[in-house]
Structure 1
């Protein structure tokens, strides 16, 4: 992950503090949005505010680091899934793994990331991820394991769909997303021996067929 500081290897304590800062920032931005300050991040990370400012000159730079961390996590996942024995396993592993990452981190798909700058590192890592996802999809298609017409561009859309469920149910039913994630994975890349049983319990939606009334 790049930062505004020069790209030199970090001492162990500096690397640890940087990880604490990025994790605290991810959590706070997910919970509170763009109102979060660098002082808030320092307090949540348990480090001095000077430590934060040494790594990130302003909030925009910190948001950029979150984007880089997002793509680093997804690239690592895609690379590990690519090593699985079959294209079916590889694509399902990535779909469900990406859904799990998204479900556990609301900041991956909010106004926070839309407001964040894309550094050269983030752009490069996004290109790496696109190439890896394309290879996973093509491999599954070559095996006849994937629904005809499913494209690499569908992968982030499917992940976002499940992420929306996770966001709405995070406090009441934090694992509910998995039921619908498996359902979507089965619909495009079913298991060899048939469809898996539904997992978890169905969500109870008030006012079926329409959105819940607004509180405003």
Structure 2
């Protein structure tokens, strides 16, 4: 499943008036460039990096966003909401375990494709009030998915909501190390983790990706 991003709604200037068409085009250009740079390189890039990728001067960014944190908030409030919706969708699955697997897999895909989202959501040191509020909404949504599977008896009862971000951080580390040789290696390790989380199974789940060869391992990023 690939993530889909859509343009942000038109912004207004300090007086509340809609931005001129050229100013709004520049704003959307900056947001698109920031999404791409954050996804590839993480949150610790500079506004100069984003301006270069957008093909605008850094002053153009400062006319739209006071600092990097405002830009982070403009992008990731919506991205975190998408993860919340994935959790809510999981709760509609008839089988609670299938819902949990769907959520872990879909969220894992988002985190694998977007390093910035991993850092904003899982590390939690970036973004302002809107992003913090979105994180606060996500925790009970994840907890509902876990508790439903535990009541069903398919998820071990010693798993807590705080385990989810740590599992995704581990998968993110595997993604960063192996992405040069395989974009989907995280799926192998998620399958292993899910087998460990399940209370019982007749046999091990087939792994969706083969292990790295020694040559691939040696080529993987340190």
**Structure 1: distance between partners of 2:151 and 2:121:** 38
Q: Residues 177-192 of structure 1 correspond to what in structure 2 (within 5 A)?
A: 177-189=186-198
The structural deviation recorded for 1:136 is: 0.6
**Structure 1: distance between partners of 2:105 and 2:176:** 16
**Structure 1: distance between partners of 2:210 and 2:82:** 29
The structural deviation recorded for 1:50 is: 6.6
Change (3 A) 1:175 1:88: same
Change (3 A) 1:16 1:116: farther
SS at match of 1:25: helix
The structural deviation recorded for 1:16 is: 7.5
**Structure 2: distance between partners of 1:112 and 1:48:** 29
Residues 66-93 of structure 1, C-alpha deviations (whole Å, 9 max, x = no match)? 4424422311221222221121111111
Q: Residues 6-45 of structure 1 correspond to what in structure 2 (within 5 A)?
A: 20-29=29-38, 30-31=40-41, 34-37=44-47, 39-45=48-54
- The reply on whether 1:146 has 2:155 as its aligned counterpart is yes
- The reply on whether 1:82 has 2:95 as its aligned counterpart is no
Using structure 2 for the length normalisation, give the TM-score: 0.73
8 Å Cα contact 1:78-1:133 kept in structure 2: yes
**Structure 2: distance between partners of 1:16 and 1:140:** 45
Change (3 A) 1:95 1:18: farther
Give the paired residue count.
Answer: 208
Residues 113-157 of structure 1, C-alpha deviations (whole Å, 9 max, x = no match)? 869543221122111110101111110001001023111111111
Change (3 A) 1:19 1:103: farther
The structure, 1 or 2, with the larger RCO (C-alpha pairs under 8 Å, 6+ apart) is 1
Q: Which runs of 5+ in 2 are unaligned?
A: 1-7
Change (3 A) 1:42 1:83: farther
**Structure 2: distance between partners of 1:91 and 1:128:** 18
SS at match of 1:83: coil
**Structure 1: distance between partners of 2:190 and 2:139:** 21
Number of the residue aligned with 1:176? 185
Q: Residues 59-208 of structure 1 correspond to what in structure 2 (within 5 A)?
A: 59-110=68-119, 117-189=126-198, 194-204=203-213
Q: Which runs of 5+ in 1 are unaligned?
A: none
**Structure 1: distance between partners of 2:180 and 2:85:** 28
